């Protein structure tokens, strides 16, 4: 049997872009697994993201079976993700199976207390998953840029910090709900002159919050250490800048140290774990940022649904 691999890389927008070529990967694959072929980046063809029937027909021609092991793309209804299972006997690869099993376990039967730690810049990016998690978790911990929209919902001035005014009412409704939501009690950032500064939760005009403060980091750690299941997605601040990395580093260390079952949801959180040398200290680092959030929100993904409909599944 001949094995042919295919993948996405970057966002070339339906045309060839040399820096996103699979050539370097193909050369290394030839060393590791001689005889295994690798197609060029599927996103070089506009039919991939458009889920074009013609492109699906090209992809499946000459093949006898399809295996999807790309959890990080399983939330995208693209040609290579949802097309082949329509006509080919299909299966989930071991990584895809593991991701669905672990994230499904968080949704259905987590050990309690179950705590979700969410960060990142925007509430609007995580509206659905926040609501879904609040149905399941025992407590929610909010840091990162999105905390300022929650603080604004509590009537706190947030200076020039990132804040989505159109989401304040949504945050207020969540804060009025039955589940505890832990928010910062101190903030690190820059003052109106651009100098490093530490604030309470009332930020002066012209100042900008860029990380959770040390008191908040300690309080968040206590919540994490008391949990039996922890899901973390999104940094606590602008961790790329060493001045604003302590919040993320402290939370990452707590996620690594806790005896709880720990799952980190891809993207910037996984990058932060790697930056601090902690990626081997958690139970599961998801390979999908957006995919892990969508799975927690909906309990399914287009790629998984497509596999269930394949001709070999009765």
Q: What is the mean pLDDT of the chain?
A: 96
Burial pattern 132-148, b for ≥16 Cβ within 10 A else e, equals bbbebbbbbbbbbbbbb
- Do residues 294 and 301 touch, judged by C-beta distance below 8 A? yes
**Model pLDDT, residue 1:** 78
Structural domains of the chain, with CATH: 4-97+300-308 (3.40.50.1260), 112-259 (3.40.50.1260)
CA dist 144 and 253 (Å) reads 16
Q: Which of 161, 169, 234 is nearest to 199 (CA)?
A: 161
**Model pLDDT, residue 227:** 98
Please say whether the dihedral angle defined by the alpha carbons of residues 134, 136, 141 and 142, taken in this order, is positive or negative: negative
**Model pLDDT, residue 313:** 57
CA dist 256 and 202 (Å) reads 31
Q: Each residue of 245-296: pLDDT tens digit?
A: 999 999 999 999 999 999 999 788 999 999 999 989 999 999 998 899 999 9
Q: Each residue of 19-39: pLDDT tens digit?
A: 999 999 999 999 999 999 999
**Model pLDDT, residue 267:** 82
Give the three-class secondary structure for 230: strand
**Model pLDDT, residue 312:** 84
Point out the residues of the chain with pLDDT beneath 50: 314
């Amino acid at each position: 049997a001949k094995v042919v691999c295919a993948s996405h890389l970057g966002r070339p927008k339906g045309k060839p872009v040399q820096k996103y070529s699979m050539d370097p990967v193909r050369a290394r694959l030839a060393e590791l697994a001689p005889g295994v072929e690798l197609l060029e980046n599927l996103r070089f063809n506009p039919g991939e993201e458009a889920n074009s029937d013609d492109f699906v027909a090209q992809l499946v021609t000459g093949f006898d079976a399809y295996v999807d092991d790309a959890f990080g793309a399983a939330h995208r209804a693209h040609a290579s993700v949802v097309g082949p299972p329509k006509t080919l006997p299909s299966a989930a690869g071991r990584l895809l199976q593991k991701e669905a099993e672990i994230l499904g376990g968080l949704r259905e039967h987590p050990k309690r207390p179950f705590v979700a730690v969410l960060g990142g810049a925007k509430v609007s990016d995580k509206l659905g998953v926040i609501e879904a998690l609040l149905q399941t978790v025992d407590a929610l911990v909010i840091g990162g840029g999105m905390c300022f929209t929650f603080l604004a919902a509590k009537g706190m001035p947030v200076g020039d910090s990132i804040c989505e005014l159109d989401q304040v009412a949504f945050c207020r409704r969540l804060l009025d709900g039955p589940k505890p939501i832990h928010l910062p009690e101190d903030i690190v950032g820059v003052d109106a002159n651009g100098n490093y500064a530490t604030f309470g939760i009332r930020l002066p005009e012209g100042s900008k919050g860029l990380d959770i403060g040390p008191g908040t980091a300690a309080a968040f750690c206590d919540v994490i250490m008391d949990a039996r299941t922890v899901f973390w997605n999104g940094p606590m601040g602008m961790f790329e800048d060493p001045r604003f990395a302590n919040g993320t580093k402290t939370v990452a260390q707590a996620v690594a140290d806790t005896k709880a079952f720990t799952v980190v949801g891809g993207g910037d959180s996984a990058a932060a774990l790697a930056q601090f040398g902690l990626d081997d200290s958690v139970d599961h680092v998801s390979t999908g940022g957006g995919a892990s959030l969508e799975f927690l929100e909906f309990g399914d993904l287009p790629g998984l649904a497509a596999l269930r409909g394949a001709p070999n599944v009765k």
